[in-house]
């Protein structure tokens, strides 16, 4: 069984690449890298016919991480983002699954939208989706198009934490330049560390049984704000300074302040709890890993 990871330079794909680059059953596609290496396949979701479909055999796995994942960019460059986030993936998934390939599609917790009743409401996978903003609407559009396909699993990711993610790099760069970081608040998510996502992908790379649901929320146990994350970073790096800033209202046009999700399905698949991204302890380990301070 072969695995194709779409979007080689992305945060999650890059971590997969580091784990699997010597595994001859893994192939990585990229729309931006010049394929110096034989197993990097050039592929752009705006030109899906260029994919080497002849390589796909029954039960091969496509890990479709590629997207325009910035909600602001989706809003500002709507037509292009729609092609990359919706039109391309829907047709690509259809082609792959017709060949018997399986697809893991990366969606987002933003498809749920704002909690309608009160801010503490926890979203389960079967709850109604009222996506807020273009990015969330695009993810939901793909979900609706492919969710009945038994060869597709949909992961609804919360905020992914890693020392190389954009927010953590921002904290690190403020620390290095001795600048006061501006932390947007309120912004709460069931943040999850990247290594838990890799563990989940390992489970899902095995043959799928009927008991595996088609939609799976992917998030940590704790609802954390960016301020919680900044405080944890500060615990490890005492000279780090930050101020809490209310973002402009336009920030919330494309993302709700709070999205709280249930992760029971994910835990069942992992057969364990996700790593605790709680302030004080585990997050410190993440923040110090790989950051040479």
Smallest distance, ligand NAP to C-beta of residue 40, A:
9
C-beta of 10 vs 240, nearer to ligand NAP: 10
Cβ neighbourhood burial of 36 (10 Å; 0-12, 13-18, 19+): exposed
Among 18, 22, 32, 36, binds ligand NAP (CB under 6 A): 32
**Cis peptide upstream of residue 130 (ω within 30 degrees of 0):** no
Q: Does 36 bind ligand NAP (CB under 6 A)?
A: no
Q: Would you state the structure tokens that stand for residue 122, as one six-digit string? A: 């926890």
Pick from 214, 211, 218: nearest CA to 261: 218
Of 24-32, 117-125, 177-185, 253-261: span binding ligand NAP (CB under 6 A): 24-32
Pick from 266, 272, 191: nearest CA to 227: 191
Q: Would you state the structure tokens that stand for residue 23, as one six-digit string? A: 């595994």
C-beta of 13 vs 237, nearer to ligand NAP: 13
| Beta strands 61-64; 122-123: pairing state | unpaired
Smallest distance, ligand NAP to C-beta of residue 19, A:
14
Q: How far is CA 116 from CA 107, 126, 132, 221, 251, in A?
A: 21, 15, 12, 21, 19
Measure CA of the first residue to CA of the last residue in the chain; give whole Å: 41
Total residues belonging to the chain: 293
Of 8-16, 17-25, 228-236, 243-251: span binding ligand NAP (CB under 6 A): 8-16
Smallest distance, ligand NAP to C-beta of residue 65, A:
4
Task: Give me the residue label for tokens 């999650």.
Answer: 12
C-beta of 129 vs 160, nearer to ligand NAP: 160
Which residues 126-185 are close enough to bind ligand NAP by CB under 6 A? 157, 159-160
Q: Does 195 bind ligand NAP (CB under 6 A)?
A: no
Smallest distance, ligand NAP to C-beta of residue 227, A:
17
Give ∠ CA 197-280-171 in degrees, rounded to 5: 70
User: What is the DSSP code (8-state) at residue 252?
Assistant: G
Smallest distance, ligand NAP to C-beta of residue 67, A:
3
Q: Does 263 bind ligand NAP (CB under 6 A)?
A: no
Smallest distance, ligand NAP to C-beta of residue 127, A:
17
Of 39-47, 114-122, 207-215, 242-250: span binding ligand NAP (CB under 6 A): 39-47
CB atoms within 10 A of CB 282: 18
Among 5, 41, 45, 142, binds ligand NAP (CB under 6 A): 45
Pick from 184, 287, 170: nearest CA to 227: 184
Smallest distance, ligand NAP to C-beta of residue 238, A:
27
User: What is the DSSP code (8-state) at residue 85?
Assistant: I
Binding characters for ligand NAP, 50-89, by CB under 6 A (x = yes): ---------------xxx-x--------------x-----
Q: Which residue is nearest to ligand NAP (CB)?
A: 10
Among 10, 101, 133, 274, binds ligand NAP (CB under 6 A): 10
Give ∠ CA 166-189-113 in degrees, rounded to 5: 105
Binding site for ligand NAP (CB under 6 A): 7-13, 30-33, 43-46, 65-67, 69, 84, 106, 108, 157, 159-160
């Amino acid at each position: 069984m072969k695995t194709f990871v779409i979007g080689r330079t992305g945060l999650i794909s890059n971590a997969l690449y580091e784990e699997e680059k010597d595994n001859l059953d893994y192939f990585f596609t990229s729309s931006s890298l010049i394929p110096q290496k034989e197993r990097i396949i050039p592929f752009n979701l705006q030109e899906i016919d260029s994919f080497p479909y002849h390589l796909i055999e029954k039960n091969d796995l496509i890990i479709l991480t590629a997207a325009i994942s910035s909600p602001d960019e989706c809003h500002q460059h709507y037509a292009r983002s729609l092609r990359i986030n919706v039109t391309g993936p829907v047709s690509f998934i259809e082609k792959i699954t017709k060949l018997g390939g399986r697809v893991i599609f990366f969606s987002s917790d933003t498809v749920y939208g704002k909690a309608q009743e009160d801010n503490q409401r926890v979203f389960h996978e079967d709850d109604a989706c009222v996506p807020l903003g273009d990015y969330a609407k695009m993810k939901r559009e793909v979900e609706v198009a492919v969710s009945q396909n038994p060869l597709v699993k949909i992961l609804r990711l919360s905020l992914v934490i890693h020392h190389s993610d954009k927010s953590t790099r921002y904290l690190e760069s403020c620390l290095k330049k001795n600048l006061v970081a501006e932390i947007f608040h309120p912004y709460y998510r069931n943040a999850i560390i990247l290594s838990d996502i890799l563990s989940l992908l390992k489970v899902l790379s095995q043959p799928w049984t009927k008991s595996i649901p088609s939609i799976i929320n992917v998030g940590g146990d704790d609802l954390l704000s960016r301020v919680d994350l900044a405080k944890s970073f500060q615990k490890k790096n005492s000279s780090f300074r930050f101020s809490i800033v209310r973002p402009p209202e336009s920030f919330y046009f494309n993302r709700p302040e709070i999205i709280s999700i249930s992760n029971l399905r994910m835990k069942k698949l992992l057969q364990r709890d996700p790593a605790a991204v709680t302030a004080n302890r585990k997050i410190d380990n993440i923040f110090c890993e790989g950051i040479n301070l």
